[in-house]
Amino acid sequence: MSKNTVSDRFRKVDVDEYDENKFVDEEDGGENQLGPDEAEVDSLIRSGNLMGALQAVLKNPPINTKNQNVKEQTEGLVLKVLSSFKTSDLEKAVQSLDKTGVDLLMKYIYRGFERPSDNSSAILLQWHEKALSAGGVGSIVRVLTARKTV
């Protein structure tokens, strides 16, 4: 065999990067998006105002930013808020959200599914059921088709 077949580094080359027709998403300038205000959300949770905490944590979603840390921080914060709800209050909380709020909640729920921790999946599944009855299958389709993830 000739020398060329010895190395298989060529198999790890990402050919799509060299495609001149490759589709690149539009940049939307998300440098200033810092996610929801952590201090505000924490104080609302401690004071027992869970509805307010939910509204606050769904503000300023880090959709356009490329900073992964911000996204992970936000997801952690959202999970904290979602876990502090009592099961009986879930339905009311979801009803208080508008359409974009329900879509955004679905995005966070699916992001939470990606990295399951101790009890998170069970809580997320309960939220998922309520959000599904409010947003319908369409809200899940929008999570799947969104180019800019939360």
Partner 1 sequence: MSYHSFLLEPISCHAWNKDRTQIALCPNNHEVHIYKKDGNNWSKIHVLKEHNGQVTGIDWAPESNRIVTCGTDRNAYVWTLKGDVWKPTLVILRINRAARCVKWSPKENKFAVGSGSRLISVCYFEQDNDWWVCKHIKKPIRSTILCLDWHPNNILLAAGSCDFKCRIFSAYIKEVEEKPAPTAWGSKMPFGEVMFESTGTSGWVHGVCFSDSGNRVAWASHDSTVAVAEGGKTAVCASLTSETLPLLCVTFITENSLVAAGHDCYPVLFVYDSNKAAMSFGGKLDVPKQSAQKGMTARERFQNLDKKATTDSKEAVLESVHKNSISQISILNGGKAQCAKFCTTGMDGGMAIWDVKVLSIVKHVRVQMQ
Task: Catalog residues that contact partner 1 under the rule CB under 8 A.
Answer: 21, 23, 99, 103, 135-139, 141-142, 145-148
- Which lies closer to partner 1 via its Cβ, residue 89 or residue 146? 146
Compute the half-sphere exposure of residue 52: CA atoms within 13 Å on the CB side of its CA: 11
- Which lies closer to partner 1 via its Cβ, residue 96 or residue 100? 100
For the bound state, the minimum distance from the C-beta of residue 146 to partner 1, rounded and expressed in Å, comes to: 6
- Which lies closer to partner 1 via its Cβ, residue 54 or residue 143? 143
The structure tokens 């309520």 sit at: 130
For the bound state, the minimum distance from the C-beta of residue 100 to partner 1, rounded and expressed in Å, comes to: 8
- The whole-angstrom separation of Cα 109 and Cα 101 is 12
For the bound state, the minimum distance from the C-beta of residue 66 to partner 1, rounded and expressed in Å, comes to: 18
For the bound state, the minimum distance from the C-beta of residue 98 to partner 1, rounded and expressed in Å, comes to: 11
For the bound state, the minimum distance from the C-beta of residue 138 to partner 1, rounded and expressed in Å, comes to: 4
- Which lies closer to partner 1 via its Cβ, residue 62 or residue 135? 135
- The tokens describing 147, both together, are 């180019």
The CA-CA-CA angle for residues 112, 118, 122, to 5°, reads 60
DSSP-derived secondary structure for 21-73: T---PPP---TT---S-HHHHHHHHHTT-HHHHHHHHTSS---S---HHHHHH
- The whole-angstrom separation of Cα 92 and Cα 107 is 19
- The whole-angstrom separation of Cα 28 and Cα 92 is 34
- Which lies closer to partner 1 via its Cβ, residue 7 or residue 145? 145
